[in-house]
A and B are shown apart, each in its own frame.
Chain A
Protein backbone atom coordinates (compact mmCIF):
# COMPACT_ATOMS: atom_id res chain seq x y z
CA UNK A 1 0.00 0.00 0.00
CA UNK A 2 1.66 3.18 -1.24
CA UNK A 3 1.16 5.82 1.45
CA UNK A 4 2.79 8.57 -0.60
CA UNK A 5 2.06 8.77 -4.31
CA UNK A 6 3.39 10.82 -7.15
CA UNK A 7 1.11 9.94 -10.03
CA UNK A 8 3.02 11.76 -12.75
CA UNK A 9 6.23 9.90 -13.64
CA UNK A 10 7.45 12.78 -15.79
CA UNK A 11 6.88 16.46 -16.55
CA UNK A 12 8.30 18.65 -19.29
CA UNK A 13 8.19 22.47 -19.19
CA UNK A 14 9.79 25.36 -21.03
CA UNK A 15 12.49 27.41 -19.36
CA UNK A 16 10.98 30.40 -17.57
CA UNK A 17 7.58 28.78 -17.09
CA UNK A 18 6.15 27.34 -13.89
CA UNK A 19 6.71 23.68 -12.97
CA UNK A 20 4.11 22.09 -10.71
CA UNK A 21 4.84 18.72 -9.18
CA UNK A 22 2.12 16.94 -7.25
CA UNK A 23 2.03 14.45 -4.40
CA UNK A 24 -0.81 12.70 -2.57
CA UNK A 25 -0.74 10.85 0.72
CA UNK A 26 -3.10 8.59 2.61
CA UNK A 27 -1.81 8.52 6.19
CA UNK A 28 -3.39 11.29 8.28
CA UNK A 29 -0.64 10.83 10.91
CA UNK A 30 1.96 12.42 8.64
CA UNK A 31 2.90 15.81 10.09
CA UNK A 32 5.95 16.81 8.10
CA UNK A 33 6.48 16.80 4.35
CA UNK A 34 9.58 17.28 2.29
CA UNK A 35 10.77 17.49 -1.28
CA UNK A 36 14.09 16.03 -2.35
CA UNK A 37 15.85 16.55 -5.66
CA UNK A 38 18.03 13.92 -7.28
CA UNK A 39 20.46 14.19 -10.16
CA UNK A 40 21.68 11.03 -11.97
CA UNK A 41 24.43 9.12 -10.16
CA UNK A 42 24.04 11.28 -7.05
CA UNK A 43 22.18 10.93 -3.77
CA UNK A 44 18.98 12.90 -3.12
CA UNK A 45 19.40 16.38 -1.68
CA UNK A 46 16.90 18.20 0.48
CA UNK A 47 15.01 20.98 -1.28
CA UNK A 48 12.19 22.32 0.86
CA UNK A 49 9.84 21.17 3.60
CA UNK A 50 6.57 22.05 5.27
CA UNK A 51 5.00 21.26 8.61
CA UNK A 52 1.36 20.18 8.77
CA UNK A 53 0.51 23.32 10.75
CA UNK A 54 1.25 25.44 7.68
CA UNK A 55 -0.27 25.51 4.23
CA UNK A 56 2.58 27.20 2.37
CA UNK A 57 6.34 27.49 2.59
CA UNK A 58 8.47 29.50 0.21
CA UNK A 59 12.20 29.46 -0.48
CA UNK A 60 13.34 31.51 -3.42
CA UNK A 61 11.95 30.00 -6.62
CA UNK A 62 10.48 27.04 -4.75
CA UNK A 63 7.14 26.99 -2.97
CA UNK A 64 5.44 24.02 -1.37
CA UNK A 65 1.68 24.04 -0.78
CA UNK A 66 -0.10 21.68 1.58
CA UNK A 67 -3.84 20.91 1.45
CA UNK A 68 -4.48 18.71 4.48
CA UNK A 69 -8.16 18.15 3.78
CA UNK A 70 -7.30 16.77 0.35
CA UNK A 71 -4.11 15.06 1.61
CA UNK A 72 -2.26 16.72 -1.23
CA UNK A 73 0.91 18.72 -1.56
CA UNK A 74 2.54 20.38 -4.51
CA UNK A 75 5.88 21.91 -5.37
CA UNK A 76 5.94 25.02 -7.56
CA UNK A 77 9.13 26.11 -9.28
CA UNK A 78 9.02 29.61 -10.76
CA UNK A 79 10.71 30.37 -13.05
CA UNK A 80 11.94 26.95 -14.13
CA UNK A 81 15.55 26.67 -15.23
CA UNK A 82 17.36 23.93 -17.20
CA UNK A 83 19.42 23.15 -14.08
CA UNK A 84 16.17 22.16 -12.35
CA UNK A 85 15.98 19.07 -14.58
CA UNK A 86 16.12 16.18 -12.12
CA UNK A 87 13.99 13.60 -10.34
CA UNK A 88 11.88 15.08 -7.54
CA UNK A 89 10.71 12.96 -4.63
CA UNK A 90 8.14 13.98 -2.10
CA UNK A 91 8.40 12.37 1.33
CA UNK A 92 6.40 12.33 4.52
CA UNK A 93 7.17 11.71 8.16
CA UNK A 94 5.36 11.07 11.44
CA UNK A 95 7.24 13.38 13.80
CA UNK A 96 5.93 11.79 16.96
CA UNK A 97 7.65 8.52 16.07
CA UNK A 98 10.98 10.16 16.97
CA UNK A 99 12.73 8.08 14.36
CA UNK A 100 12.90 10.55 11.49
CA UNK A 101 11.74 7.80 9.12
CA UNK A 102 10.63 9.01 5.71
CA UNK A 103 8.09 7.49 3.34
CA UNK A 104 8.90 8.46 -0.23
CA UNK A 105 6.79 8.77 -3.34
CA UNK A 106 7.83 7.16 -6.60
CA UNK A 107 9.41 10.32 -7.98
CA UNK A 108 8.67 12.66 -10.90
CA UNK A 109 11.28 13.35 -13.56
CA UNK A 110 11.26 17.03 -14.49
CA UNK A 111 12.74 18.16 -17.77
CA UNK A 112 13.13 21.90 -18.32
CA UNK A 113 13.72 22.70 -21.97
CA UNK A 114 15.82 25.74 -22.92
Chain B
Protein backbone atom coordinates (compact mmCIF):
# COMPACT_ATOMS: atom_id res chain seq x y z
CA UNK B 1 0.00 0.00 0.00
CA UNK B 2 1.94 3.02 -1.31
CA UNK B 3 -0.66 5.63 -0.28
CA UNK B 4 -0.32 8.82 -2.32
CA UNK B 5 2.60 9.05 -4.74
CA UNK B 6 3.72 12.00 -6.84
CA UNK B 7 5.85 12.08 -9.98
CA UNK B 8 8.35 13.70 -10.45
CA UNK B 9 9.92 14.69 -7.12
CA UNK B 10 11.90 17.58 -8.59
CA UNK B 11 11.74 19.51 -11.85
CA UNK B 12 13.31 22.62 -13.32
CA UNK B 13 11.52 24.35 -16.19
CA UNK B 14 12.22 27.36 -18.33
CA UNK B 15 9.58 30.06 -18.64
CA UNK B 16 7.01 29.06 -21.22
CA UNK B 17 7.62 25.31 -21.03
CA UNK B 18 4.83 22.93 -20.17
CA UNK B 19 4.71 19.92 -17.90
CA UNK B 20 2.35 17.54 -16.14
CA UNK B 21 2.55 16.44 -12.53
CA UNK B 22 1.10 13.02 -11.79
CA UNK B 23 -0.61 12.03 -8.57
CA UNK B 24 -1.65 8.44 -7.89
CA UNK B 25 -3.41 6.91 -4.89
CA UNK B 26 -4.14 3.27 -4.11
CA UNK B 27 -6.64 3.81 -1.27
CA UNK B 28 -9.75 3.90 -3.48
CA UNK B 29 -10.40 7.51 -2.42
CA UNK B 30 -13.11 9.47 -4.19
CA UNK B 31 -11.75 12.94 -3.51
CA UNK B 32 -8.40 14.29 -4.71
CA UNK B 33 -6.74 17.69 -4.35
CA UNK B 34 -3.78 19.68 -5.63
CA UNK B 35 -2.16 22.28 -3.33
CA UNK B 36 0.84 24.53 -3.64
CA UNK B 37 2.99 25.55 -0.69
CA UNK B 38 4.86 28.82 -0.68
CA UNK B 39 6.85 30.41 2.16
CA UNK B 40 4.58 32.32 4.54
CA UNK B 41 1.46 31.30 2.60
CA UNK B 42 0.66 27.85 3.93
CA UNK B 43 -0.98 25.42 1.52
CA UNK B 44 -3.36 26.82 -1.05
CA UNK B 45 -5.82 24.72 -3.01
CA UNK B 46 -5.33 24.83 -6.80
CA UNK B 47 -7.95 22.37 -8.10
CA UNK B 48 -9.83 19.45 -6.70
CA UNK B 49 -11.98 16.52 -7.79
CA UNK B 50 -14.86 14.80 -6.00
CA UNK B 51 -14.94 11.86 -8.38
CA UNK B 52 -13.68 10.34 -11.61
CA UNK B 53 -14.36 12.67 -14.52
CA UNK B 54 -15.08 15.72 -12.33
CA UNK B 55 -12.84 18.67 -11.47
CA UNK B 56 -13.36 22.07 -9.86
CA UNK B 57 -11.35 25.22 -9.17
CA UNK B 58 -9.82 25.97 -5.81
CA UNK B 59 -8.34 29.20 -4.43
CA UNK B 60 -5.51 29.68 -6.96
CA UNK B 61 -6.45 27.90 -10.24
CA UNK B 62 -5.04 30.37 -12.79
CA UNK B 63 -2.30 28.94 -14.99
CA UNK B 64 -3.13 25.32 -14.14
CA UNK B 65 -5.36 22.64 -15.60
CA UNK B 66 -6.29 19.24 -14.21
CA UNK B 67 -7.78 15.96 -15.32
CA UNK B 68 -9.23 12.97 -13.47
CA UNK B 69 -9.73 10.32 -16.14
CA UNK B 70 -9.18 7.47 -13.71
CA UNK B 71 -10.27 7.35 -10.08
CA UNK B 72 -6.75 6.65 -8.84
CA UNK B 73 -4.99 9.40 -10.81
CA UNK B 74 -5.15 13.20 -10.71
CA UNK B 75 -2.99 15.14 -13.16
CA UNK B 76 -1.93 18.77 -12.79
CA UNK B 77 -0.80 20.56 -15.94
CA UNK B 78 1.11 23.77 -16.48
CA UNK B 79 0.64 24.86 -20.09
CA UNK B 80 3.10 27.77 -20.08
CA UNK B 81 5.17 27.87 -16.91
CA UNK B 82 5.94 31.18 -15.22
CA UNK B 83 8.44 31.99 -12.44
CA UNK B 84 5.47 32.69 -10.13
CA UNK B 85 4.66 28.97 -10.34
CA UNK B 86 7.90 28.07 -8.60
CA UNK B 87 6.61 26.20 -5.57
CA UNK B 88 6.23 22.87 -3.84
CA UNK B 89 3.16 21.03 -5.07
CA UNK B 90 1.27 18.54 -2.92
CA UNK B 91 -1.41 16.13 -3.93
CA UNK B 92 -3.88 14.75 -1.38
CA UNK B 93 -6.79 12.33 -1.37
CA UNK B 94 -9.63 11.35 0.95
CA UNK B 95 -12.78 9.24 1.18
CA UNK B 96 -16.03 10.81 0.11
CA UNK B 97 -18.27 12.67 2.52
CA UNK B 98 -21.91 11.97 3.14
CA UNK B 99 -24.13 9.89 5.43
CA UNK B 100 -23.78 12.55 8.11
CA UNK B 101 -19.99 12.59 7.95
CA UNK B 102 -18.67 16.12 7.46
CA UNK B 103 -14.99 15.42 7.25
CA UNK B 104 -12.51 12.75 6.24
CA UNK B 105 -8.78 12.98 6.77
CA UNK B 106 -6.76 13.98 3.71
CA UNK B 107 -3.67 11.91 2.96
CA UNK B 108 -0.83 13.81 1.33
CA UNK B 109 1.87 12.79 -1.10
CA UNK B 110 5.54 13.68 -0.56
CA UNK B 111 5.45 16.71 -2.85
CA UNK B 112 7.03 17.90 -6.11
CA UNK B 113 9.50 20.76 -5.95
CA UNK B 114 9.18 22.81 -9.14
CA UNK B 115 11.48 25.65 -10.14
CA UNK B 116 10.67 27.85 -13.12
CA UNK B 117 13.58 29.91 -14.43
Contact = CB atoms under 8 A, between A and B. Distances in A.
Interface of A: 4, 6, 9, 31-32, 34, 36, 41-46, 49, 51, 89, 91, 93, 95-96, 98-107
B102 A96 contact: yes
A93 B45 CA distance: 12
A96 B45 CA distance: 18
Contacts of B109: 43
A100 B97 contact: yes
Contacts, number: 77
B106 interface: yes
Interface of B: 4, 31, 33, 35, 40-45, 48, 50, 56, 58-59, 90, 92, 94, 96-98, 102-111
Contacts of B4: 43
A106 B104 CA distance: 21
A102 B45 contact: yes
